[in-house]
Each structure stands twice: as structure tokens, then as C-alpha cells.
Amino acid sequence: MRDAREHGSVLPAPAEKARSVRRMFGDIAHRYDLLNHLLTLNIDRRWRRRAVDRLLEGWRGGGSYLDACAGTMDLAVEIGRRDGFDGFVVASDFAWPMLEHGREKVRGLPISAACGDALRLPHPNAAFDGAIVGFGVRNFADLRAGLDELVRVLAPGGRLVILELSIPAWRPLRELYFLYFTRILPWIGRRISGHETAYSYLPASVREFPPPEELATMMTAAGLADLRFDRLMNGIAAIHVGDKPSDGGTLRGMIDRG
């Protein structure tokens, strides 16, 4: 039980989570991209491309898109650089230093940055044709409220894609995963970022996050149809996809495409 206690100790109390997470990401913004790519051996780039592929399935060039919890705006850039893209992307994050460190990436692209809390998005109902969140919903102070808010700003027929870390189900891989995730990754993260707890918070928050099946059920409850998800690398991460009904019809359920 020692690991569980250690992980729990770095998770903020629910009432303090938003403020604590905002401050933490502001503190590590200067090393965020480097550590993302280093600690995943650049696999995170491939995962982001795949998530955007799912967002833009059936896309015809234009449209308005929200990159929520955008961080340094890698997903927004992936959308904005797609061949033939003539829509626009709003990259939103509640930690302004993260957006500042991504500013050079979006120069010349149809992307605007907005500092905003995903639980209280500063956008009207049905403002976007699609929304995407990469490694962000795990940090919501209230996951159900955050999903409701993302669905609110989607236009009828719009799509929500969530890319998030998860825990492998296969026991041998899970044990290796936890060895890396709870011992090696925090050690590297502390030394490069200079932050004592940010890269211990990461595995602790993944442990506390709902498994893919439960997240899919929550997305359905928030009003999305045709829920499906793909497990990536035997469950190290997952991409969830759901569509907002355009006609008020019944939801057609969840498909695990693992």
C-alpha cells in the first residue's frame, strides 16, 4: 500500500484542485514540451495526430474547432496545419504561461489563444463544429461538469475527441508501466522541470482517473452519441470519440474498438 499512499499525497484536495493544477502547469510550462516528447519517446506526437484524424473524419476543409486544455497548443497546430484546412481553431487553457510558450508555434496559422477554464468556457452554446482535449480532462476539478460544458459548446452534429492516459489491463505490461511511471518518470521530471511534485502528480492522477469504459459511459451521459474508443499501445492511452446528436435522436451506445 506504500505506493498508493505516496500517490495520494501529491493529489490536491478537490476544492483546491483547479488552483493547484493551474499553478503547477504555469510552473512547468518552460519544460512542458521537452518533457512530453522525452518521457514518451515522441510517441505523444503520433497519438495527437491520430486524435486529430478522428476529429476530422468526414471533414470538408472548414469549420470551427476548440482545443480545450490546449497547453502549448500542439493539437491546435496539428489541426491548423492540415492540408486544405480553411477553418479556425480556438486554443483554450486556464494556465496562461502554457499558451505563452506555444505562441511561436501558431504564428501564421488560423489559431487564436484564449485563457479560460474548461469548466466555464467563455463561448456561446453550439459555437464549435468539433472539440478536442489532449491529456486534459484528467485534471478537471469536476469531470462531469467539464464534459457537460464541452458538449454545450458543440454544435448539433459536432464531435468531441478526448485523448487521455490510462492504465494497461495486461498485468505484465501494467507492472512495467507502473515501474516506469511511478519511479523513473518522476525522477526525470523533477530534474528537468525543477518542480518537485508535477511529475509525481501525473501518475497519481492517472491512477485516480476513470478507466476507458467508465469515461465512455460518462460521455454518453453528457449527451454524446455513437461513443467509441480506441486503446493505444495496449491501454497506455485511449482516444474517445462521441458525436452530439443533430436531431435529438436516441443514443446508439458505446463501442469498444480496443
Per the domain annotation, does 57 fall within a domain?
yes
Q: How many domains does the chain have?
A: 1
Secondary structure of 160-199 as H, E, C letters: EEEEEECCCCCHHHHHHHHHHHHHHHHHHHHHHHCCCCHH
Q: Is residue 187 part of a domain?
A: no
pLDDT digits (tens, 9 = 90+) for 58-83: 887 789 999 999 999 999 999 999 99
Q: Which domain holds residue 159?
A: 14-29+41-166+209-248+252-256
Angstrom CA distances, 116 to 76, 92, 123, 149, 252, stand at: 15, 6, 10, 12, 32
Domain harbouring 225, CATH code: 3.40.50.150
| Averaged pLDDT for residues 17-29 | 96
Sequence-ordered list of residues with C-beta below 8 angstroms from that of 248, at least 6 positions apart, any chain: none
Is the per-residue pLDDT at 34 higher than 80?
Answer: yes
Name the band, by pLDDT with cuts 50, 70 and 90, for residue 191: very high
Mean pLDDT score, 188-194: 96
Within-domain flag for 46: yes
Per-residue pLDDT, averaged over 176-190, amounts to 94
